[in-house]
Amino acid sequence: MRVSTLTLTALLLAAGAASASDDLTIVSKHTHDGKPAGTSTSYLASDHVRMAREEGHESIVDLKTGVMTMLDGKKKTYYTITKQDLEQLKVKMQEQMNSPEMKRSQDEMKKMSPEDRKKMESLMGGMSTVLDVKKTGATRKIAGYGCEEWTITIGEVSKTRECLTSELQYPAHAWDTYRDFSESMKSMMSAFGPMAKSGAEMAEKLKNMKGFPLAASTAIDIMGHSSTTESEVIEVRRGSIPASAWEIPAGYTKIENPMLKAFEGHGRARPHR
C-alpha cells in the first residue's frame, strides 16, 4: 500500500551522519480496522535498510549494490529488484506499448469522440489531478520526537495522515542509492506516455514531505468496501545492528520478480540456499 512506499521513501531521503552509533532500530505498533495487528521492527544502518510493513511484508535495501529484496512473511517467499531489472522492465513496457494489441487499442481511442478520448486520457494519466498533499499545522510528540502532520488525499478513494519528524538523522549514502532507483523508475515509466507525466507530477507534490513518519494512518473506501490501517513508532534504539538483520530468513523460497514475470507469463520458484 501507499503508506509503506512513503515510509521507505522518507527513510531513504532523510540525510545525516553515517556511523555505527547512529544506526537505528525502530519498533512500531499496528492496527487494522481498529483491532491490534501486532508490532514490527525496522532497521537503518549506513549500508543497509530493512523496513517491516503490514501483514509480514518486509523490504531490505543493500545501499552498496542498490539491490532491493522483498519478503513475504506469510508465504515465506522473497524476490529481488536490481537496477538491471528496472531497465529490463522499461524495455518490456516499451515492447508492450508497441504490440499489435496496444496499437489496436490506440486505434479504437482515435475513433472516440474528442470528449470521450479526453476522459480516457485523463483516466490513464490524471492521478496527479486528484492527489492533494497538505501540511495541517498540527504537531505532536511520538516516542520522544516532535513531528508535523501531513495529509495525502487521493480523490474520494484514500486519505492518509502522516506525522513526519526531522529529528531523526540517517546516513547520507541512503539518498544517493534511492535517487538512482528513483531515476530508473522514472525512466521506466516514460514508456507509459501520459502516465509518465502523471507520475512526475505526483512525485513533485510529494517532494515537500521530508522526514520519517512516526505515525501513519490510511483510510480506503473503494466501491463501498472500506478499511483503515494505522501504525505508530513506540521505540527508537541507537547502536550497531547485527549482520543477521540483513539476511533472508531460513526456509524462505526465492521466486521470480513478479513485475518481470507479469510480462513473461511464466516463472519458476527456486529454493533459497
pLDDT in tens, 109-134: 677 777 666 555 555 545 545 678 99
- Structure-block grid coordinates of residue 163: 506525522
Cell of 102: 496496444
Residue positions counted in the chain: 273
> Which residue, among 169, 190, 228, 221, has the nearest Cα to 93 in the 3D structure?
190
Q: Is the pLDDT of residue 163 over 80?
A: yes
pLDDT classification of 170: cutoffs 50, 70, 90: low
pLDDT at 269: 42
Set of cell numbers at residue 125: 494519466
Domains of the chain, each with CATH number or no CATH: 2-103+126-271 (2.50.20.10)
Nearest partner of 194 among 123, 265, 93, 112, judged by Cα: 123
Give the confidence band of 234 by pLDDT, cuts at 50, 70, 90.
very high
pLDDT surpasses 80 at 137: yes
Instruction: Return the SS3 of 160.
Output: strand
* Residue pLDDT, tens place only, 53-112: 777 889 998 888 888 899 999 999 999 988 788 777 777 777 776 777 767 776 776 777
164-185 average pLDDT score = 62
User: What are the DSSP calls for 71-139, one per residue?
Assistant: EETTTTEEEEE-HHHHHHHHHHHHHHHTSHHHHHHHHHHHHS-HHHHHHHHHHHH-GGGGEEEEEEEEE
- From CA 20, how far away is CA 48, in angstroms rounded? 12
Q: Is the pTM of this model over 0.75?
A: no
